[in-house]
Structure 1
Amino acid sequence: MSEERKHIEVVAAIIKKDNTILATQRGYGDLKDGWEFPGGKVEPGEAHEVALKREIHEELEAEITVLEHIITIEYTGYEKFDLTMHCYLCSLVNDSDITLLEHEAAKWLSKENLYSVDWLPADIDAVDAISKRL
């Protein structure tokens, strides 16, 4: 009898600044060094917008405005877990700076170089969705 796979629900911030999108490089865990949209786990009973603002503050010491839902991705290709990722277009409040607290690196990517980093597999559909909007 197989063990039930772990399922994780997360929110991701597609942070837009001018005509660029923020990509962050994971600094920990099994997916270390992969590029992703910042965000994290939704706590039980927590609204997506609240979770997003909390996670971005914890990870980047930044305040965001959540603008609109872009895509929800169901991804089952990771070895240890399945993922539901709710991706939202966001902007920085007052064009604030970011401070990397959990990531190794960050890049602001234009439409032309959106695919220049090694995105984590679950993030690719979000990259495709946002590339049409830049």
Structure 2
Amino acid sequence: MKQIEVVAAIICKEGTYLAAQRGHGEFEGLWEFPGGKIEPGESSEEALIREIKEELNIYIHVDQWMCTTNYDYKSFHLTMHCYLCSIIAGKLELREHKSAKWLDTNWLNKVEWLPADKEVIQILLHL
């Protein structure tokens, strides 16, 4: 099975978390924490900063590692390294996603998340 390793930003602002809705591809319409693949020679933190700048046009600070999740999709195995992050500059601009929402813990389960992100939601609900 194909192996994919990615990083995800759990961006927190005033007790809310940024959820992004996929705008294309196999999982279009589902919600996720933004991020992407680690390029050769990059650290997880460097990849996360680059991906968030590319996808959302904001600069983040990677505050701390939160968890690593693994999920077997039909055609690949995903390993996702999740980091708590904060915005340090920029204005949010959706470049790849069709929508974004700031959700507090009461609303985290109100959107349809990608399967790999559901484990992260459970961790956030117990922080």
Q: TM-score, normalising length from structure 2?
A: 0.96
User: What is the aligned partner in structure 2 of residue 45 from structure 1?
Assistant: 41
Alpha-carbon distance between aligned partners in 2 of 1:131 and 1:59, rounded to the nearest angstrom: 26
1:31 aligns with 2:27: yes
- Structure 1 distance, partners of 2:52, 2:126, is 24
- The residue that corresponds to 2:120 in the other structure is 126
Aligned-partner SS, 2:118: helix
The structural deviation recorded for 1:40 is: 0.3
RMSD, aligned α-carbons: 0.9
| Uncovered stretches (5+) of structure 1, i.e. residues with no partner | none
SS at match of 1:40: strand
Structure-1 residue corresponding to 2:4 = 8
Where does the alignment leave 5 or more consecutive residues of structure 2 unmatched?
A: none
| TM-score normalised by the chain length of structure 1 | 0.92
Q: State the 1:130 CA deviation.
A: 1.6
Q: Establish whether residue 64 from structure 1 lines up as the match of residue 60 from structure 2.
A: yes
Give 1:131 shift.
1.9
CA distance in 1, matches of 2:50, 2:2: 23
Q: Distance in 2 between matches of 1:79 and 1:104?
A: 24
Q: How many residues align?
A: 127
1:85 aligned onto 2:80: yes
Aligned mates of 2:20, 2:83 — CA distance in 1:
15
Instruction: Answer with 1 or 2: which has the greater Rg.
Output: 1
Moved over 2 A (4+): none
Over the matched positions of the two proteins, sequence identity in percent amounts to 52
